[in-house]
Amino acid sequence: MIEVEHLTKRFRNTTAVDDLSFKIREGAISGFLGPNGAGKTTTLRVVLGLVRPNAGRATVMGRPYRELDSPTRQVGAVLEAANFHPGRSGRNHLRVLAAATGASTARVDEVLALVELTEAADRRAGGYSLGMRQRLSLAGALLGDPQVLVLDEPANGLDPQGIRWLRELLLSLAAEGRTILISSHVLAEIEQIADEVVIVHRGRFVAQAETSELAARASGGIRVRSPQVDRLRSLLAEGGIEIGSAEGDLLVVNGATTAQIGELAAANQIVLHELAAEASSLEEAFLELTA
């Protein structure tokens, strides 16, 4: 759905993105993580055709953004909360976007209602709080009812209620089958909504994995409890999978996924009482991988 291939972008002597490649799968919420200056925003802007790469390419639905037939009906984007003319009302801001994209006035009202901004719609955007601006940005992104959403730090400026609202909105949009790529430094938020994460550091690819797996990888373990623990242990060892620790009928396994262990147990008719990634935060994984 979104594919970045060997992307490199330099600004004078600074390499913002360095031979970066990853692929975002269709219908999933993917987190795009990295410390400040990791190249996340630059990458997203290349994906959206706003920045020209020095090498490599980025495609959405198999084509560069500039070549999409109706870009805003296919891809919605939130990049900054300050992309407004301060003297233009929220409604007029959306009317201008709607005119450029061919969306109807009725759709303007729909998205205003969706982001709960109807009451403030006729006020000047210059007087909006940061949270209201984020909502307006999101309304603009949703104007074309796109299949793909690219969101750069959409929770910026939102209060806890706003963050919860955003989480629920994104989950409902994903439930409709949309593909969402979301960059954020609020790792706890990403952990709650993202199916997978891509981590970049200093412009380079670091890791891509399902969120739970990545967190488990950082903590070093998948918890496996079985009444046939000895047999399972020897099967894992035969498969070259490292056992982190063992206590009674509990094993903590490193370097494997829950899927691998589950399939191994099933293939050998081993009963499992527990199979779970050890509870740990994405933050730990993130800090470990970007240290």
Partner 1 sequence: MRLVWAELLKIATAYRTLLGILLAEIAVVTLGTIAHVHSAARDPVLPPRFAPDLVGIAATSILFTTLLGVLIATTEYRHGTITLTFLATPVRERVLGAKAVAAIVAGELLVVPALVIPIVAATIWVGDRPDYHFGGEEWGLVGRLFLTTALVSMLGLFIGAALTRQLGAIVLILGWLLFVEPAISALLPGTTDYLIGPALGGVLGGDTSAPSFGRSFPVFAAYLVALGALAVFLTRRRDIT
- Interacting residue with partner 1 among 50, 271, 276, 279 (CB under 8 A): 50
Closest approach of Cβ 22 to partner 1, in Å? 21
* 100 is a contact residue toward partner 1 (CB under 8 A): yes
DSSP string over the chain: -EEEEEEEEEETTEEEEEEEEEEEPTT-EEEEE--TTSSHHHHHHHHTTSS--SEEEEEETTB-GGG-SSHHHHEEEE--TT-S-TTSBHHHHHHHHHHHHT--HHHHHHHHHHTT-TTTTTSBGGG--HHHHHHHHHHHHHTT--SEEEEESTTTT--HHHHHHHHHHHHHHHHTT-EEEEE-S-HHHHHHH-SEEEEEETTEEEEEEEHHHHHHHHHT-EEEE-TTHHHHHHHHHHTTPEEEEEETTEEEEES--HHHHHHHHHHTT---SEEEE----HHHHHHHHT-
Nearer to partner 1, 89 or 258 (CB): 89
- Applying CB under 8 A, the span of 83-91, 159-167, 203-211, 272-280 interacting with partner 1 comes to 83-91
* 79 is a contact residue toward partner 1 (CB under 8 A): yes
* 68 is a contact residue toward partner 1 (CB under 8 A): yes
- Applying CB under 8 A, the span of 81-89, 156-164, 170-178, 239-247 interacting with partner 1 comes to 81-89
Closest approach of Cβ 92 to partner 1, in Å? 4
Residues binding partner 1 (CB under 8 A): 11, 42, 45, 48-52, 65-66, 68, 71-72, 77, 79-80, 82-89, 92-93, 95-97, 99-102, 140
